[in-house]
Amino acid sequence: MVPEASPLAVPEASPLLRSIAPLRTRVVRVSIVNDYELVVAGVAALLAPFPQIEIVETAANRIPYTQADVLLFDTYGHRDLGTNRVSELVANEQNRYVAMYTFEFGPGLVERALSTGVRGYLDKREPASRLATAIERIAAGEVVVSAGGTPLHRSEIEWPGRAAGLSVRESELLPLLAEGMRNNEIAESLYLSVNTVKTHLKELYRKLGASNRAQAVAAAAQAGLLARRSSSPTSDVRAG
């Protein structure tokens, strides 16, 4: 068993990392990928104070072109955790290692992610210092998996809709609504129950001053909450 104070944990049968003591051996080159400029900029700002991390590229809705030790893929805005995109990033030889950065720790998600070849599955609830250390360990060739669901303080990461008072989950619903997805499809994509989706939608409508989906999408579009950062969309760009 992993000691309670340890920030990361893995199943007993897995040969994954059980310690994240910092390496401090060299600067790690990191690129950050997501569909929103606001998201990649927020993650870059989160890692900026750590001298062992060098952000070499922030790629919005495209494949990065700069060689990096670790490509950090933020799953925000991706349906089914962006599995198609992850496979594409792993196959790109200029990315030495790929790590996923997510709030999602549902049953089987970690195993599915690791099966694509990623070397890290990192929880957004981890403090920035632990994120930086985990990236170091991944760059050193280890596989790092966050415990997931731990009662840690959520890092101050930006997301589309935050300025409008929307939660991460509420803002994640918007692109799915715009695509015309039904409640059960949204629930499947975000690994939620249909009732939970309905609760989030009710709160989203209230905050946007809308009474139905069409009004919510229109209000979000007018406020710029649906805009992607790049005009070159890639496959599988939805939930989160």
What integer pLDDT is reported at residue 133 of this predicted model?
Answer: 92
Sign of CA dihedral 215, 217, 219, 222: negative
Exposed/middle/buried for residue 239 (C-beta within 10 Å: 0-12, 13-18, 19+): buried
Q: What is the mean pLDDT of the segment spanning 65-84?
A: 83
Q: Mean pLDDT for the chain?
A: 78
Q: Where are the beta strands (DSSP E) in 13-104?
A: 28-34, 53-60, 68-74, 95-102
State yes or no: pLDDT of 98 exceeds 80: yes
For 168-222, CATH number out of 2.40.50.100, 2.40.110.10, 1.10.10.10, 3.40.50.720 equals: 1.10.10.10
pLDDT at res. 61: 80
The whole-angstrom distance between residue 57's C-alpha and the CA centroid of its chain comes to: 16
Tokens of 84: 């198609």
Q: pLDDT grade, residue 225 (50/70/90)?
A: confident
Q: What is the pLDDT of residue 220?
A: 85
Q: Is pLDDT of 218 > 70?
A: yes
Q: Is 204 helix (H, G, I), strand (E, B) or coil?
A: helix
Cβ–Cβ under 8 Å, residues 31 and 64: yes
pLDDT at 149 over 70: no
Q: Work out the end-to-end distance of the chain between its first and last CA atoms, rounded to an integer number of angstroms.
A: 30
194: buried, middle or exposed (CB in 10 Å: 19+, 13-18, 0-12)? middle
Query: In the structure, what pLDDT confidence band is assigned to residue 33 with cuts at 50, 70 and 90?
Result: very high
SS3 212: coil
pLDDT (average), residues 78-87? 73
SS3 for 58? strand
Residue 148 pLDDT class (50, 70, 90 cuts): low
Residue appearing with tokens 């030889």: 93
Domain ranges in the chain? 28-145, 168-222
Q: How far apart are CA 160 and CA 51, in angstroms?
A: 28
Looking at this protein, which amino acid is placed at residue 136?
E
Q: Which helix (H) or strand (E) holds 131?
A: helix 128-139
Q: Which residues pair with 145 in a beta bridge?
A: 121
C-beta neighbour count of 115 within 10 angstroms = 10
> CA nearest 37: which of 211, 191, 165, 159?
159
Predicted pLDDT at 55: 96
Q: Which residues pair with 97 in a beta bridge?
A: 70
Q: Tokens 């989706």 identify what position?
A: 197
pTM of the model: 0.67
157 has a pLDDT exceeding 60: no
Distance CA 101, CA 168 (A): 14
pLDDT for 5 equals 39
Of the pLDDT bands very low, low, confident and very high (cuts 50, 70, 90), residue 181 is confident
Of residues 191 and 46, more confidence is placed in 46
Binning pLDDT at 50, 70 and 90, where does residue 175 land?
confident
CA distance 194 to 214: 19
Q: What is the DSSP letter of 146?
A: B
The CATH class that applies to domain 28-145 reads alpha beta
For 133-158, what is the mean pLDDT?
Answer: 73
What would the mean pLDDT of 58-66 be, rounded to a whole number?
Answer: 87
pLDDT at 81: 63
